[in-house]
């Protein structure tokens, strides 16, 4: 009995040992099997294999140095946007300034043209009025009027663009010239035949006029420095030392400058304060 019990224990122990060994062996990893299984798993196609197969190499292929940080891209975008906005604003300002300049230039041109037209009209009206007055004063019906007496009383007689002062004192040529200068005028300058006839119709004695020369070989010149263009049919000009000129009612004569005679001053009508009316 004891022997049988020992035999059973021995058999149980052997079986148990064998069972434990199998369990231990089953738990021991089979490296070849695991490698084959892992290889099959990797070779098995995945549903997202297309995405990973294309995207993964692309990410790995782009070097890290070529990637621009996001904050740098934003900074560059903001800088470019600011430059565009500044350019647009500058263009608008230039356009506005150009419009303002064009507007004022147009207004200035229009005002200049208008002012020039007004000036031309005023000048033309003034010239027409002066011509009318001159023609009236120098007409034959006025030459025989009583203006001579009025002129002698008032000293000044105005016709057309000029006013004339008829002296009532005898002076030599130089004294007469200085007297006219003190009046803000100068000795008479006869510019045409009408004026000569008008002056000669108002005088009956000798009167110095503003024509003289420095010597017999020098040209005749008026007090304003101009040469004698209108021929006065001057008498006595070939005589030496006859370097000054006076007029009478009928002739114009060269004489000695020391001769004591009356004289005639002239002044521009626009600068004359005392304007005698045409009825005087």
**CATH number of the domain encompassing residue 235:** 3.10.100.10
How far is 40 from 32, CA to CA, in rounded Å?
A: 12
Task: Report residue 254's pLDDT band, with 50, 70 and 90 as the boundaries.
Answer: very high
Residues 6 or more apart whose Cβ sits within 8 Å of residue 238: 216
State percent of the chain over pLDDT 90.
Answer: 25
Query: 192-236 pLDDT, tens per residue?
Result: 898 899 899 888 899 999 999 999 889 999 999 999 888 888 998
- The owner of tokens 């084959």 is 36
* Half-sphere exposure at residue 217, Cβ-oriented, CA atoms within 13 angstroms: 0
146 occurs within a structural domain: yes
How far is 110 from 107, CA to CA, in rounded Å?
A: 5
Query: 53-102 pLDDT, tens per residue?
Result: 444 445 444 455 555 566 666 666 666 677 788 888 888 999 899 899 89
The candidate with the shortest Cα–Cα distance to 253, out of 243, 262, 263, is 243
| Six token digits for residue 112 | 């200049």
For residue 139, what is the DSSP state? Answer: S
The candidate with the shortest Cα–Cα distance to 188, out of 217, 167, 170, is 167
pLDDT given for residue 116 in this prediction: 82
Task: Count structural domains, the chain.
Answer: 1
How far is 259 from 251, CA to CA, in rounded Å?
A: 17
228 occurs within a structural domain: yes
195 occurs within a structural domain: yes
**Bigger pLDDT: 34 vs 104:** 104
Task: Report residue 274's pLDDT band, with 50, 70 and 90 as the boundaries.
Answer: very low
32 occurs within a structural domain: no
191 occurs within a structural domain: yes
How far is 90 from 87, CA to CA, in rounded Å?
A: 5
Q: Domain range for residue 204?
A: 141-271
113 occurs within a structural domain: no
């Amino acid at each position: 009995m004891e022997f049988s019990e020992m035999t059973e224990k021995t058999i149980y122990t052997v079986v148990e040992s064998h069972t434990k060994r199998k369990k231990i062996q089953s738990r021991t990893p089979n490296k070849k099997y695991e490698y084959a299984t892992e290889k099959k798993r990797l070779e098995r196609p995945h549903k997202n294999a297309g995405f990973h197969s294309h995207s993964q190499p692309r990410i790995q292929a782009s070097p890290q140095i070529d990637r621009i940080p996001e904050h740098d891209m934003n900074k560059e975008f903001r800088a470019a946007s600011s430059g565009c906005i500044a350019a647009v604003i500058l263009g608008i300002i230039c356009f506005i300034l150009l419009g303002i300049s064009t507007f004022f230039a147009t207004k200035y041109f229009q005002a200049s043209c208008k002012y020039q037209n007004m000036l031309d009209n005023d000048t033309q009206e003034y010239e027409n009025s002066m011509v009318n007055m001159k023609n009236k004063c120098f007409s034959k019906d006025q030459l025989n009027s009583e203006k001579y007496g009025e002129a002698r009383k008032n000293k000044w007689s105005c016709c057309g663009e000029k006013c004339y002062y008829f002296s009532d004192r005898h002076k030599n040529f130089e004294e007469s010239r200085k007297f006219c200068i003190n009046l803000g005028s100068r000795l008479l300058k006869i510019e045409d035949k009408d004026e000569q006839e008008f002056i000669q119709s108002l005088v009956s004695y000798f009167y110095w006029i503003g024509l003289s020369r420095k010597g017999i070989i020098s040209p005749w010149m008026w007090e304003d420095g101009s040469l004698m263009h209108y021929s006065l049919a001057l008498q006595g000009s070939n005589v030496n030392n006859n370097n000054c000129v006076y007029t009478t009612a009928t002739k114009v004569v060269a004489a000695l400058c020391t001769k004591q005679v009356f004289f005639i001053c002239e002044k521009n009508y626009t600068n004359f304060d005392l304007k005698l009316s045409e009825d005087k």
